[in-house]
Amino acid sequence: MEQIMDNKLMNLTLKIWRQKDAAAEGELKSYALTGVSPDMSFLEMLDVLNEQLVAKGDDAVAFDHDCREGICGMCSLMIDGQAHGPEKAVTTCQLHMRQYKDGDTITIEPFRAKAFPVVRDLCVDRSAFDRIQQAGGFCSVNTGNAVDANSMLISHDTAEKSMDAAACIGCGACVAACPNASAMLFVGAKVSQYALLPQGQPEREKRALAMRAAMDAEGFGHCTNEYECEAACPKEIKISNIARLNREYFRATLISE
Amino acid sequence: MEANENCASKCCGRLFEFLDSSIGKKFMVAAAGLLLVGFLVTHLAGNLFLYVGDGAFNHYAEALEHNPLLPLAEGGLIFLFLVHILLSARATYLNRKARPVAYESYKGKGARTPGSRTMALTGSLILLFIIIHVATFKFDVGGLKGQTPGTEESLYAHVITWFSNPLYAAFYILAVGGVGLHLSHGVQSAMQTFGVNHPRYTPLIRKAGLALAGLIFLGFVSFPVYFGFLQKCLSCSTGAH
Amino acid sequence: MKLDSKVPSGPIEKSWDKHRFELKLVNPANKRKFKVLVVGTGLAGASAAATMAELGYQVETFCVQDSARRAHSIAAQGGVNAAKNYPNDGDSIWRLFYDTVKGGDFRAREQNVYRLAQVSNNIIDQCVAQGVPFAREYGGTLSNRSFGGAQVSRTFYARGQTGQQLLLGAYSSLMRQVGLGTVKLHTRREMLDVVVVDGQARGIVCRNLVTGESETYWGDAVVLATGGYGNVYYLSTNANGSNVTATWRAHKRGAAFANPCYTQIHPTCVPVTGEYQSKLTLMSESLRNDGRVWVPKKKADPRNPQDIPEEDRDYYLERKYPAFGNLVPRDIASRAAKQMIDEDRGVGSTGLSVYLDFKDAIARIGEPKVREKYGNLFDMYHHITAENPYERPMRIYPAVHYTMGGLWVDYNLMTTIPGLFCLGEANFSDHGANRLGASALMQGLADGYFVLPYTIGGYFAGTKLAKVTTGHDAFKEAVSSVNARTQRLLKTGGKTSPSALHRKLGHIMWDNVGMGRTAKSLNTALSEIPALREEFWKSVAVTGSGEEFNQTLERAGRVADFLEFGELLAKDALTREESCGGHFREEHQTPDGEAKRDDDKFCHVAAWEYKGEGKPSERHVETLTFDNVHIAQRNYA
């Protein structure tokens, strides 16, 4: 019974940001979409729209996506003013249309930040994250240099804490959701993963200084502790990682030569 | 000599880099902010002499005014305010630039608080208030001093006079409300900026920050309410008897 | 075409050492004179690119995603195998080697597999050194678990995100090299052709997915690490963007394609709900440790599963395979589900699923214990289907998960085009006809960290490479053929979206070249695929232009390649008249329904050579010998 009720198809109005390329002006355009099944994922709903647009000879709405199981970090979207939509701890690809009801209007915008310029429609360029990582998001160990994996003992809790931070998928929702377009949660997670582990110690100060500098150079905003990043993060990365980044950076400023 | 200069320039370079960094700026804003909270607490404590009576309050005020360290303290305060205001203003400006195209709709997921949303607004309100407050109380702009006969030189009377002005009292209450709101976010935010975040202590810090903000608000708001309103009513009702 | 595997002779334990010794070395100062183009930045591509850059080679990498961190390796959940024997439970390099050869149903090269088992331990060391937060015991040592029916605990894991953590490890090493200026990163680039100059792979043509421009890059060698072709079935557990284009274009330039019919189908996926479905989500097969698989005895039983009494349920895996029950290997569990559905006993609104019931497990160990073991999987299922698996049995269905076939490579991981190397899932090498759980990550990283960086040096040191620039005629020819194809896609003027045509191909493949294949079904596919291909070129609708960011065009190009490749897959399946691993020919089974190999006729690798448009491909054979593992029939009944 429950299933039959759930399967009622919906008609929706979509207001979608359309922008031809980085240089062009963009605008919100309205689309009426009929016959949306509640079992569809949000991206499948956009697939259906695109198939209809293409069949009519119109340009499909460009949006980034890949794994469609919430791990690759490729999908994005600001849905009704919320990064990855209304649910908690979910990426857009895992959002299902049963969250919506017949007649709803949904506004879909790209993740917006100076550091994430729009490529087309809903696709943005998040290579700023790659460049931050290039500045220091690694342990400098060449292939073949490693010692036996068990020669380094790491407590269970430390490994778990590090894993909590490492779970970041680099989607950029933290930046999109932050009122200041700050990337502190992303950088905090990366710095924390390594700062917690013995492998990260040799480059600990260098990393904090370099990743902070790279982050600021990309034009991300300042963290004002609004915690919207934590609320938007599909992997529930905690703001304690931002606090750790603050400590790490302060410490590195003080003690590095 | 040369080594020393090198060392100094290295130190300065690192310091400048820190101050110019997003994290360093926030660190300085937070540090200045917390020191200003300290000032507010002592200011409130001093003002509580108002409740003891005009003698006590005037005595306290005089002692303060004749303290040779006062100019130093005032200088320090101005410095803290400048650091706090200028760095926050620069951060706010850069934050606006970090998102050149605004969202058509921005809802967020409910993490922001009324305090966090309004930091710039309450900060500006507080600044405006401070200007008026210093102008009227320190430099007697508006020239109220001496208007009430027989009360020349008495700061106590001066305070009462101002609080009796409903417009001023309302503005004072609004500004103190702004302070409370500002601190409801500011105190715990400063701790996070200092890197203090711990599953056991952070909830406590948040509560303590709210409590402090509440106490400061209640403390300051009590003056216009009591001296501008309650006291009069009390004297009216006693007079009627 | 001659297939020379270059497998070293002599005792297998020494073969990799001996081979490495015999490979010529490139002088450290000369390494920077060689440029390597690496296409794909998953586990294999990123690890290879980073390692070669560390050695001193000039490296350029290419990926279709917006960042090198997003490749589909990231989705692997279970773990990575290694023969560390930390749990002291009797594991060894030999045992890992043995299990992999046997698991692959004796269709892999022994020497390759042995090398894989040997370097598996180095992979764990390397990843730990990079800061990969593997699960740890309270004493601080690494945790291991048993996975995919292995009798030893040799799987290392980082929660359910092992693939992600290993990829981020490789990506971090790659980013370090980019920062050092030794690697140039090209994202949002799709490789559309390999440029062959004087018989050697010397460059690639890419579409810049943002501007639409056809870009050319030259190199002294080209490495393809572009993943598997599971999306030829339209629905699979692969990422939406996973495709066969790079390997298929290389195939058309002369790289032999080996064993395309070897596909792995995973039994525990969230079932399809409708035509719009774009992806199937995998759930860990650990669910079968406590869940019981069943369908109603009656066809199209309308009752709620909770209301169907025991006597009306058919626990078919327990019935057919009493010894292993619900824990039979992936392929057997998948085929059995298909059989039930073919008998019209499938459940759910589409009839395309079977029940996986935890009722008895909840009764036995209690809901909290079940929640502790499977909570995240139950939540994921609940989230996708809106059905609560604590109250109502889960519905599962098999889905294409991994492809063992790929470009043929020799022991050096070089394809039949000199200078063109192929790594990871994109090559055919180590898993034979069936891959064991937690072995995909191991192979990708083995190829990238510990095999290619040696063997590519041997190639450079032993090969005369003329100076080549992108001004060479071969580049011009490749660009014009790429552009012509793009224009052809844009000008069909049809009305059907590329996805709709892809879906049609998927139906043909799944129905005829899926879990159970017959000569009849394969012939059906072989007549339907060319017809669909013809329909595609008449009716595909590609809007927009070639000079812009155009995802419809990208999709259309990939579907066009799948339409060619699908035919080869079906043909390979038809020619391989035996059942082995993931390739099940219904004509060839034991009385228990087990895959029945024909070792006399098919103990070989089938590698297909492209002979030109419209001409039948030629099948070449590399005979496999088993000197170390005794060849035997699998039996799970």
Task: Find out whether B30 and B190 touch, Cβ atoms under 8 Å.
Answer: yes
| CB C556 within 8 Å of CB C566 | no
- Give A165-220 pLDDT, tens digit per residue: 999 999 999 999 999 999 999 999 999 999 999 999 999 999 999 999 999 999 99
Query: Using CB atoms, which chains have 3+ pairs under 8 A with C?
Result: A
Q: What are the residue numbers of the active site of C? A: 330
Please choose, from the candidates C13, C17, C9, C62, the residue with its C-alpha nearest in 3D space to the C-alpha of residue C36: C62
Instruction: For residues C168 and C441, give the distance between their C-alpha atoms in angstroms, rounded to a whole number.
Output: 13
Residues A35 and A84 grouped into a single domain: yes
Would the CB atoms of C130 and A139 count as touching at under 8 Å?
Answer: yes
Confidence of residue B151 (pLDDT cuts 50, 70, 90): very low
Looking at CA atoms only, how far is residue A12 from chain C in angstroms? 16
Within its chain, how far is the Cα of A51 from the centroid? Answer: 26
Is the CB of B23 less than 8 angstroms away from the CB of A249?
yes
Residue A169 and residue A214 share a domain? yes
Is this complex's ipTM strictly greater than 0.90? yes
Nearest to C164 among A55, A60, A71 (CB): A71
The hierarchical CATH code for the domain C265-399 is 3.90.700.10
Contact assessment for residue A28 and residue A17, using Cβ atoms and an 8 Å cutoff = yes
Q: What is the DSSP string of C80-142?
A: EE----TT-SS--HHHHHHHHHHHTTT-S-HHHHHHHHHHHHHHHHHHHHHT----B-TTSSB
CB distance A246–B106 less than 8 Å? no
Mean pLDDT of A3-7: 47
Decide if C497 touches A, using CB distance below 8 A. yes
Gap between the Cα atoms of C461 and C456, Å rounded: 9
The answer to whether B192 contacts A109, with C-beta atoms less than 8 Å apart, is no
Q: Say yes or no: A150 and A247 in one domain.
A: yes
A159 and C135 within 8 Å at the Cβ level: the answer is yes
Domain of residue A178, residue span: 127-255
**Residues of chain C with C-beta less than 8 angstroms from the C-beta of A68:** 239-240, 278-279, 281
Q: Has residue B9 been placed in a domain?
A: no
CATH number at residue B131: 1.20.1300.10
- Specify the CATH number for the domain of residue A46: 3.10.20.30
Which residues of chain C, if any, have pLDDT below 70?
A: 635-637
Q: ∠ CA(B36), CA(B37), CA(B43), 5° rounding?
A: 90
Of C69, C273, C279, the CB nearest to A69: C279
Segments forming the whole domain that contains residue B153: 22-97+113-240
**Of C199, C247, C288, C103, whose CA–CA distance to C474 is shortest?**
C199
Structural contact between residues C44 and C447, judged by C-beta atoms closer than 8 angstroms: yes
Q: What pLDDT is recorded for position B239?
A: 53
Pairs across A and C, CB distance < 8 A: 235
- Is A74 found in the same domain as A23? yes
Q: How far apart are CA A108 and CA C526, in angstroms?
A: 43
Using CB atoms, which chains have 3+ pairs under 8 A with B? A
In a domain, B83, yes or no: yes
Phi and psi (nearest 5°) for C215?
-105, 145
Q: What CA–CA distance (Å, rounded) separates A182 from A111? A: 12
Q: How far is B231 from chain A (nearest CA, A)?
A: 41
Read off the pLDDT band of B153 (50, 70, 90).
low
Residues A121-179: tens digit of each pLDDT: 999 999 999 999 999 999 999 999 999 999 999 999 999 999 999 999 999 999 999 99
C contact residues 538-557, partner A, Cβ 8 Å cutoff = 541-544, 548-552
CB atoms within 10 A of CB B194: 17
Percentage of the residues of chain B whose pLDDT score is greater than 70: 91
Interface A-B, measured as beta-carbon pairs within 8 A, has a size of: 145
Residues A69 and A156 in one domain: no
Residue of A nearest to B195 (CA): A243
Q: What is the pLDDT of residue B5?
A: 62
What is this structure's pTM?
0.96
| A104/A15 same-domain check | yes
For residues A157 and A245, membership in a common domain is answered with yes
Q: Are residues A115 and A176 in the same domain?
A: no
- For A233-253, write each residue's pLDDT tens digit: 999 999 999 999 999 999 999
Which residue from A21, A47, A54 is facing C543, i.e. has the nearest CB? A54
Interface of C with A in 312-371 (CB under 8 A): 349
Q: How do residues B93-140 score in pLDDT, each as one tens digit?
A: 999 999 999 999 999 999 999 999 999 999 999 999 999 999 988 887
In angstroms, rounded to a whole number, what is the distance separating the alpha carbons of residues C583 and C514?
A: 9
The C-alpha atoms of residue B153 and residue B159 are separated, in whole angstroms, by: 12
Q: So what's the pLDDT on residue B228?
A: 84
How close does chain B come to A221, measured CA to CA in Å?
5
Residue-wise pLDDT for B47-61, tens only, equals 999 999 989 999 999
Q: Using alpha carbons only, what angle is made at residue B231 by residues B226 and B233, rounded to the nearest 5 degrees?
A: 120
Determine the residue among B7, B14, B99 to mutate to test chain A binding: the one whose Cβ has the most chain A Cβ atoms within 10 Å.
B99
Is the same domain home to A133 and A227?
yes
Specify the amino acid at residue C47. S
- Higher pLDDT residue, B102 or B239? B102
Interface test with B, best of A121, A226, A238 (most B CBs within 10 A): A226
What does the pLDDT read at residue C591?
85
Distance from CA of A207 to the nearest CA of B (A): 15
**Total structural domains within chain B:** 1
Average pLDDT over residues B26-42: 97
Taking a C-beta distance cutoff of 8 angstroms, is the pair C249, C205 a contact?
no
**Substitution target from A78, A211, A227, A239 for chain B, most B beta carbons within 10 A:** A227
CATH number of the domain that A168 lies in? Answer: 1.10.1060.10
Domain chopping of chain C, boundaries: 265-399, 483-610
Residues of A in contact with C279 (CB under 8 A): 41, 68-69
Q: Pick the closest to residue C383 from C286, C270, C237 (CA basis).
A: C270
Residues A105 and A149 placed together within one structural domain of the fold: no
Residue C384: list chain A partners with CB under 8 A: 94, 96
Residue B64 inside a domain? The answer is yes
Question: Which residues on chain A are in Cβ contact (under 8 Å) with B25?
Answer: 222
CA A24 from chain centre, in angstroms, equals 24
Chain C contact probe: residue of A7, A12, A138 with most C CBs at under 10 A: A138
Chain A residues lying within 8 Å of C86, measured CB to CB: 150
Mind telling me how many Å the CA of A118 is from chain C's nearest CA?
11
**For residue C86, what is the nearest residue in chain A, using CA coordinates?**
A150
Closest CA to C565 of C403, C334, C424: C403
Nearest-CA neighbor of A117 among A180, A192, A44, A26? A26
Q: Which of A68, A160, A193 sits opposite C239 (nearest CB)?
A: A68
pLDDT for residue A1: 33
Task: State the nearest Cα–Cα gap between B112 and chain A, in angstroms.
Answer: 5
The reply to whether A156 and A244 lie within a common domain is yes
Q: Domain C483-610 classified CATH 1.10.150.110?
A: no
**Min CA distance, A74 vs chain C (Å)?**
7
Give me the residues of A, 178-217, that contact C with CB < 8 A: 193-194, 197, 199-200
Kindly list the strands in the beta sheet with A105-109, ordered across the sheet, starting from the edge strand earlier in the chain: A27-36, A10-18, A105-109, A78-79, A82-83
pLDDT at residue number C324 = 83
In this predicted structure, what is the pLDDT of residue B3?
54
The pLDDT, as a whole number, for residue B1 is 46
Angle at CA of residue C228, ends C222 and C234, nearest 5°: 135
Helix (H) or strand (E) holding C296: strand C292-296
Phi/psi for C403 (5° steps) reads: -120, 120
